[in-house]
Structure 1
Amino acid sequence: MPSLNKYIPFEAWIAYRYIKFKQKNSFISFISTTSMVGIALGVSALIIIMSVMNGFQDELRTRILGVASHIEITSSNNTLAHWEDLTKKLQGVSDVKGSAPYIDGQGMLVSEYGSQGIMLRGISPELESNVDDLEKKVKVGHLSDLKAGTFNIILGIDAAKQLGIVVGDKVNILIPQGSYTPAGTFPRMRQFNVEGIFEIGMYEYDSGMALMNLEDAQKFLQMHDTVSGVRVKIDDLFLAPAVAQRLSNKLSESGLFYISDWTKKHSNFFSAVKMEKRVMFIILTLIIAVAAFNIVSTLVMAVTDKRSDIAILRTYGAKPKSILYIFIIQGSLIGIIGTVAGAFFGIAISLNIQAIVPFIEHLFNVQFLSKDIYYISEVPSKLLLTDVIAITSISILLTILATIYPSIKASSTSPAEALKHD
């Protein structure tokens, strides 16, 4: 059976032997191993952080748009009349999947255990499924329980816990619109029946929003037959700006409408998340760079240690270019092994982080993301192939760059000078 050495360049074979066999100088071996481990840690950390940032961004977008909307159509004074005619016009627009009216208002929820501010959302239970998956978020009860004239409400789970409210209780809601009496002006107040509990998974909504029937909201907030606006759901949420522009052109003939999409309404927030992701990428790439450039010191010491070997190779006819390739391949192998190991561990952890983090939290009795501080309480992860390719490519590129100077120094070694000192 022919030897494998016949099928690989001798430069690669020698570089492999330099890595495989233990160096006479143990310190060089230590630096080489440290560089390899550093690259592996940097690559794995970068893959994990990018996956968590991707998951965080995707999870927030999903949860926010589960309550908000892809596109909202309102008027300048926040009251929209004849919304039924508007929804009929939207049915013929391409990319529009559905629409539903809504009413927004502010109030104060009062129970025997306390009070807190609340955002009132009037919805049509029959049409709400056209624009979101709110029905799936209701843990107790159903959206269909919000029947007109019953003045029923569905509360967020955190608001219910804070005020000691359970399904079946009656609560009072005060709103700023005043009731005029001979004794003066008083805030309007009405008693509502708690018929359900929902959980969006975001503290902002779970602790500060109450759902009620659209007609009940019109009566309570004295909006008569108007609504605050119409929510629109489209096929591809990333096409929201283009669809919003088309709707603006189409509806401009019908009257004055204000049309906004989710990219504008939450632009600052998602821009901040995107910027954080870029900054984390740069910072962790510098960690990989530090580990990669440790290879410079490794190869410089290896070149000094192998001066006699280089001289012997040169006397046997090896060209300077071959010596250059030997040390480039040696340094590159260190970087590639570290990169592959880091990518393996990074991918493995990213794919299982939703099981790993709860285990660590349970083991040490801690919670990394407190629900009342952060938008979400779980650590999400979304691994993208493009991120893995970019990270591994940068790591290998930095490694190759780190090998250039020591390799050039090795190739310029004079055989006579090297042998004279040995």
Structure 2
Amino acid sequence: MSDHSPKGHGLLPLWLGFRFYRARQSNSFISFISFASTAGITLGVAVLIIVLSAMNGFERELRDRFLDVVPHGELTGVNEPVHGADDIIEQANQLPGVRGAAPFVRLQGLVQRQGGFQGVSLVGIDTAREGKVSGIASYMSPAAWQSLEGDDNTIVLGKALLEKLGLNEGDTLVLYVPDLSGRDAGKLGATQSHKFIVRGSYQLGGELELLTAFASMEHLARVMNLGERVTGVRIAVDDVFAAPRLIRELGFAQTSQHLYISDWTRSQGHLYQDIQLVRTLMYLVLALVIAVACFNIVSTLVMAVRDKTSEIAILMTMGLKRRAIVLMFMVHGAISGFIGTVLGMLIGVTVALNLSAISRGIESLFGVKLLSADVYFIDFLPSELHTQDVVLVCVMAFVMSLIATLYPAYKASLTEPAAALAGR
């Protein structure tokens, strides 16, 4: 044995496995297959970490940005506006898990733009109570928020809608709504028009900017002749996933009037489901990529066993036990898995931590938009790295690479020294 061999026999299989791994360079084909397996594991681990971080980012934006503005739940009148909104709000505030409640008035209409009309949902809010259920104030200027107080005919549009309509602050916007009262109410296509003064815009990103505008609740209620009634009550909860249960519990307690019970999982739940579906599919696909790369480890070790049959036989005649042969080739294959896993982790973590900046750089360099606000609820690529995801992916990749070494290592241990040396 070489003078560089370890003194402790317990470490001998590990040392031999490392020497055999380095000796693969003598066979260029085995070296190429080993490189391919390491590269495959690296790619699979890196991409899986990046994809999981992106899905975590989408969940965070859905929870902290989109659901910060979209109500977690709503109670709206079935055939007529809601009366006694203050009583409903008081009951909601007494329900454990409810963060707050606020009344609102909604008016659906059309605004004219070049080439046609644009549908708009105009939401009248009470600025004194809206902060309990929505963070929309943080997405617009203080002046725009203050303009929604009182009974003025002011309106705050989404920035995307403002640009689409070609309007500026101070311009007049005309909203066309169905005529539900008066002598023309029964005529097909009869409409009413209401003028609003644009006092600002909010910038949230996504489809909401194109479809939703905000106005004074007091003014809208007067325009719609609601009196003390409102369209409904918006509710915010501490745990967004508890919203369906809490909204139903609150809605069923209202026996004096018929109400529609709605929560975010009905109106926006498809976004969360899509994120989870993509996460699951990508996990399966990339796990298969790692599995294929690990299969290359099997090929590498099988060829290494054939190439090193004589060396195995000599070691066994010198007293090396069969279980040591198994461990030796497991170490040989595990090194490829370990290197691939570590490289993939380093690349994946680095890219995941800088994914948003990288995506912005690509958009700027090639003049493209990776995520369109017209389609998605955000217009940038988010990322949130979770330590447990990194650990899970790395452990999975390394364990799969270890499993891939079992069969070739076992076959190597079955080598008969006499037959192998006789055929040398």
TM-score category by the smaller chain? over 0.9
The change in CA–CA distance for 1:183 and 1:66 in structure 2 (over 3 A counts) is closer
Relative to structure 1, is the Cα distance of residues 3 and 245 closer, same or farther in structure 2, using a 3 angstrom cutoff? farther
1:138 paired residue number: 140
For 2:256 and 2:366, locate their aligned partners in 1 and report how far apart those are by CA, in whole Å.
Answer: 61
Task: Judge conservation of contact 1:126–1:144 (CA < 8 Å) in 2.
Answer: no
TM-score, normalised via structure 1 length = 0.92
Gaps of 5+ in 1: none
Percent of aligned pairs with the same residue? 37
Q: Aligned partner of 2:208: which letter?
A: Y
Q: Tell me how large the CA RMSD over aligned residues is.
A: 2.4
Give me the whole-angstrom Cα distance separating, in 2, the residues matched to 1:380 and 1:307: 52
Separation in 1, partners of 2:185, 2:82: 33
Tell me, yes or no, if structure 1 residue 193 matches structure 2 residue 197.
Answer: yes
Conserved in 1, the CA contact under 8 Å of 2:144 and 2:200? yes
Residues 84-121 of structure 1 show CA distances to partners (whole Å, capped at 9, x for unaligned) of 12212223222222111112221011368864211111
2:5·2:15 contact (CA, 8 Å) conserved in 1?
A: no
State the match for 1:151 in structure 2. Answer: 153
Paired residue secondary structure (1:233): strand
**1:215 aligned partner:** 218
8 Å CA contact retained: 1:328, 1:403: yes
Unpaired runs of 5+ residues, structure 2, are none
Confirm whether residue 234 of structure 1 aligns to residue 237 of structure 2: yes
Cα distance, 1:257 vs. partner?
4.2
8 Å Cα contact 1:179/1:187 also seen in 2 = no
Shift of 1:3: 8.2
Q: How many residues align?
A: 419
Instruction: Look up the match of 1:73.
Output: 75
Worse overlay, 134-143 or 311-320:
134-143
Encode CA deviations 1:324-373: one digit per residue, 9 max, x unaligned.
Answer: 11111211121111111101110111011111111222223322222223
Q: Which moved more, 1:32-41 or 1:12-21?
A: 12-21
Match of 2:22 in 1: 20
Aligned with 1:82 (options 81, 84, 87): 84
Residue 308 of structure 1 and its aligned partner are, at CA, apart by 0.9
8 Å CA contact 1:114, 1:163 repeated in 2: no
Whether the 8 Å contact between 1:115 and 1:163 is mirrored in structure 2 is no
> SS at the partner of 1:98?
strand
Rounded to whole Å, the distance in 1 between the matches of 2:193 and 2:7 is: 91
Residue correspondence of structure 1 range 354-369 to structure 2 within 5 A: 354-369=356-371
Equivalent AA in structure 1 for residue 6 of structure 2: N
Read off the aligned partner of 2:197 and give its amino acid letter. Answer: N
Letter in 2 for 1:277: R
Work out which of the residue numbers 374, 377, 402 in structure 2 matches 1:400. 402
Please tell me the residue identity of whatever aligns with 2:281: V
Is contact 1:54–1:382 with CA below 8 Å preserved after alignment?
Answer: yes
What is the letter of the counterpart of residue 281 of structure 1? Y
Using the size of structure 2 for normalisation, the TM-score is 0.92
In the alignment, residue 337 of structure 1 is paired with which amino acid? I
Aligned to 2:127: 125
Q: Against the structure 1 CA distance between its residues 277 and 81, is the aligned structure 2 distance closer, same or farther, given a 3 Å change threshold?
A: same
- Seen in structure 2, the aligned counterparts of structure 1 residues 173 and 379 have a Cα distance that, compared at 3 Å, is same
Aligned in 2, Cα 1:254/1:20: closer, same or farther, shift over 3 Å? farther
> What are the equivalent positions in structure 2 for 1:16-415 lying under 5 Å apart?
16-77=18-79, 79-110=81-112, 115-139=117-141, 141-181=143-183, 185=187, 186-202=190-206, 204-248=207-251, 251-252=253-254, 256-415=258-417
